Amino acid sequence: MIFYIKQFFYAFACTVGFAVIFNTPKSSLIKSGLAGAFGWSVYLIINQFTGSIVLSSFMASLCIGFVGEIFAILCKNPITVYIIPGIVPLVPGFGLYNTMLSLLEKEPDKALVYGSEVLMIAISIAGALTIVLSVNSFRKKFTTKWFN
């Protein structure tokens, strides 16, 4: 339990740092940090149960998208402000770097392993975010139809 609380805090600090690098508005810094921290906790828990990086990235991105959507509705900011810093702990930037390093090292089989993992993680994160955004646009259409 102590481990998860520590990791939650680390992910929060990490995400807030990236939010400053991405010039997130001042009022949204803490919120995007929270989105990232919740996402990372979900990632850790699901990764412990299933051992699958792709599945845990998917569920974590769903969580980030959901939290980001709530903040976006509450604060009337575009959801991008919350999800771009939020997904940073999950995104496979390091894997992409490893792929390229293996290629430069003339080890194509390692590059293939890293590269396919990068692609799978990127697809799972992007798919999760697309699902959240599509559900949201459907919800907008539905509410305008229903209440007008």
Partner 1 sequence: MHQVNQKKLLVMALYAGEIMLKNGAETYRVEDTIIRLCKSRKFPFVEAYATPTGIFISVDNDGEDLNEMITYVKRIQSRSINLNKVAEVNSFSRKFVDEDMSLEEAMAQLKAIDQLLPYPLPMEAFFGGIASGFFTLLFGGNHFDLVGALITSIFITVSVNKFSKLGLNSFLTYTTGGFIAALSAIIFSYLHPLIHVDKVIIGAIMVMVPGVAITNAVRDSISGDLVSGLSRGAEALLIATSIAFGVGFVLKTWIYLTGGRLI
Residues at the site binding partner 1, with contacts judged by CB under 8 A:
7, 10-11, 13-25, 28, 40, 76-78, 80-81, 84-85, 87-89, 91-94, 96-105, 107, 110, 118, 122-123, 125-127, 129-130
d(CA 111, CA 93): 14
H helices of the chain, where? 2-21, 29-50, 53-75, 80-86, 93-104, 108-147
* Residue 101 Cβ vs partner 1, minimum distance, rounded to whole Å: 4
Q: Find, among 70, 66, 55, 64, the residue nearest to 85 by Cα.
A: 64
Shortest Å distance, C-beta 10 to partner 1: 5
CB of 148 to partner 1, least distance (A): 15
Do the beta carbons of residue 117 and residue 95 sit within 8 Å? yes
- CA nearest 54: which of 98, 10, 90, 7? 90
**In the complex, least distance from residue 65 CB atom to partner 1, rounded to whole angstroms:** 11
Distance CA 142, CA 30 (A): 31
Q: Which residues contact 108 (CB under 8 A, 6 or more apart)?
A: 102
CB of 146 to partner 1, least distance (A): 21
